Homo-oligomer: A and B are copies of this chain.
């Protein structure tokens, strides 16, 4: 059975303006690979209602799961929850379960659950809350879309909450062979090698560091024994 597929949607002007370097994509990619969920596409869009809704619809239809990051805080530019609701045609308002979580949190910290903070309790009807052990305000899953915060520490905590609830596949394993040869010298025999192992994915990634250059040959697949055999054959070929 093929692995489940996934897409990620990163929401935020600050990434597209170059002000902030996104960290969540790389983190999620590693987590999904370990769990055997194949990340097939990532999109980054700005804090724009139409752009978010269009991307959510396209990705939700195309992949088993969609993970979003960003835009669920208390400020005026946090519009993700309302956009997800609109994409699914779901009603959205402050929901009692999310409100109770926030009320308890702010009571403990002696802060006021004001109108702005209450925006973080806006959850679409039919959505399941995603636990946020870092700062309480929950994410949510609606249909196959999992909505999480953009702050990396909170994003990671939410990924840890949601991933164990999803059905994974065979984890994608990889073996790397580092060769101190340029890709141009390897490419011919490497292409032939890739054709000999149609069940494995063979990639070549050039590197150049401190004046030394070479290529990392990465072989990926879900069968550890097949991978070990392939990497041995590769070593013999290029030794």
Contacts and interface: CB of A to CB of B under 8 A. Distances in A.
B42 A16 contact: yes
B77 A204 contact: yes
Interface in A99-137: 111, 114-117, 119-120
Contact of A44 (B15, B30, B42, B47): B42
Nearest to A106: B184
Interface stretch (A33-41, A157-165, A227-235): A33-41
Contacts of A90: none
Interface in A18-58: 18-22, 25-33, 39-47, 51
Q: How many subunits of this chain does the assembly comprise?
A: 2
B206 A151 contact: yes
**Max chain B C-beta neighbours (<10 A), residue from A26, A33, A187:** A187
A89 interface: no
A22 B29 CA distance: 11
Interface string A73-102: 111110000000000000000000000000
A143 interface: no
B75 A183 contact: yes
A220 interface: yes
Contacts of A26: 15, 18, 21-22
A17 interface: yes
A118 to B, nearest CB: 9
Contacts of A186: 75, 116
A201 interface: yes
A161 to B, nearest CB: 19
16 contacts: A14-B205, A16-B40, A17-B39, A40-B46, A41-B51, A43-B43, A73-B187, A73-B206, A75-B186, A76-B190, A77-B203, A77-B204, A111-B184, A114-B185, A115-B188, A151-B208
Interface of A: 10, 13-22, 25-33, 39-47, 51, 73-77, 111, 114-117, 119-120, 151, 153, 172, 174, 182-188, 190-191, 194, 201-206, 208, 218, 220
